[in-house]
Amino acid sequence: MRFVDLIEKKKQGHHLSKEEIDYWIDGFVKGDIPDYQVSALCMAICFQGMSDEEQFCLTEAMLHSGKIIDLSPIHTPICDKHSTGGVGDKTSLALAPMVAACGLCVAKMSGRGLGHTGGTLDKLESIHGFQINKSEDDFMRQVQDIGLAIVSQSDTLVPADRLLYALRDVSATVDSIPLIASSIMSKKLAMGADTILLDVKYGNGAFMNTSEKARKLAQAMLDIAKRFHKKACAMITNMNQPLGNAVGNALEVKEAIETLQGKGSKDFTQLCLEAGSLLLTKTHLSQDREDGIHKLKQVIENGKALEKFLAMVAYQGGDVLQITDPNRLPKANMQIELLSTKNGFVQDVCAHTIGVSAMKLGAGRSQKHDHIQHETGIVLKKKQGDFVQKGEALAVIHTNQALEEQIRNELFNAFTIGDAMPQIQPLIEEVML
């Protein structure tokens, strides 16, 4: 078999067989197939797409390129959750402890942020001492003991995805639905959870810019889960404005803690409750949506959700005093208010601009090797539909150095203010089961 023939076959719009896909992934991981040929095939896939069968075979080949965690010794429903990335998306930090407090085990492998989207691991590492690297045995023990673990991807899990994603990132082949779906699902399946929740975001702050593309990606992942006999559900959610109020690592940890205390922002709390209810219902720990939301509100009110978060932080070496007293979390040298220059209703808060500005302040990376300043970021004081008066704060900028005029202007431009109350866009557009 010659790899150049696979490139030509896909370039012409034909389907690759299971044997051809296995040859591709196995040869690439072993180093027998050069990067430039794999890049060419990925580009052909971007233009020609893949059939459902090809997507399944690619996911399967990537999944079996490394180890698969066996969680069968744990005799409790086990779930995993994945978000396609957004601005201010700290959902895992609050959602995972909430559902764990309701009796559902959460075994989650998370990633880092790049560009304008934040990463769960970066947020957790703003907690002093928090360890994201766990051996498989330690990971299993933690899930068994406290029902909750959020860790980084190990080198032995889905090495094909790690190699392929690095190549796609530098060859302009990231935005292919078959490649995205296979990448995400191979990692989710490798973790061994019974039930998977997919939060697929769309809008200017997400990788999918329209709800139609988000829906197509969600359906591709649900189809893959079904082929692997896994329970899965998806939420199509709006990322045209940041989720919650905080954008930046330590700031988002603080907002997650507030949410676990019942004091979180309305939109972020809504997403956590709806997502948590979906998981509880899918795993038969609640009767329906209303029952699930009731159970989640109960564990917030009685403090059990926050206790789960504390238990995870303690188990992974983090400073629990920073959780019981969030004022101990890293703080930036300066907090600068961004003041409105006129009266009116906030029509729009551009998530992409906010995310890029936070990155420039040090809260994110433009390159993978960039150093994160965990304390920096932006806290929104006004969001879509809010009325603001001239001189009132639109946001508070947390920075370690004097604010550049360019960043200030970009942040001003992120807020659109008008005379009329805008039509509020729904946060959750659709639930796909």
Catalytic residues: 82, 161, 168, 183, 187
Q: Which two tokens stand for residue 294?
A: 């009731």
CA-CA distance, 35 to 43, in Å (whole number)? 12
160: three-class secondary structure by DSSP:
helix
Rounded Cα distance, 21 and 55, in Å: 10
Please give the torsion angle defined by the CA atoms of residues 350, 355, 356 and 360, in that order, rounded to the nearest 10 degrees.
Answer: 140
Closest C-alpha to 198, from 364, 430, 426, 42: 430
Contacting residues for 152 by C-beta, under 8 A, at least 6 apart: 109, 110, 111, 121, 132, 133
Its sign, for the CA torsion 223, 224, 230, 235, is negative
**Spatial distance between the Cα atoms of 153 and 63, rounded to a whole number of angstroms:** 13
Phi-psi region of 7 (alpha: psi -120 to 50; beta: other; left: phi over 0): alpha
Task: Record the tokens describing residue 428, joined without a space.
Answer: 């959750």
Maximum CA pair distance of the chain?
69
- Where does 239-376 show beta strands of DSSP type E? 246-247, 334-339, 344-349
Residue 372, CA atoms < 13 Å, CB-side half-sphere: 26
* Nearest Cα residue to 407 out of 382, 378, 379: 378
d(CA 400, CA 362): 9
Q: Of 381, 263, 378, 395, nearest to 332 (Cα)? A: 378
What is the C-alpha to C-alpha distance for residues 376 and 237, in angstroms, rounded to an integer? 26
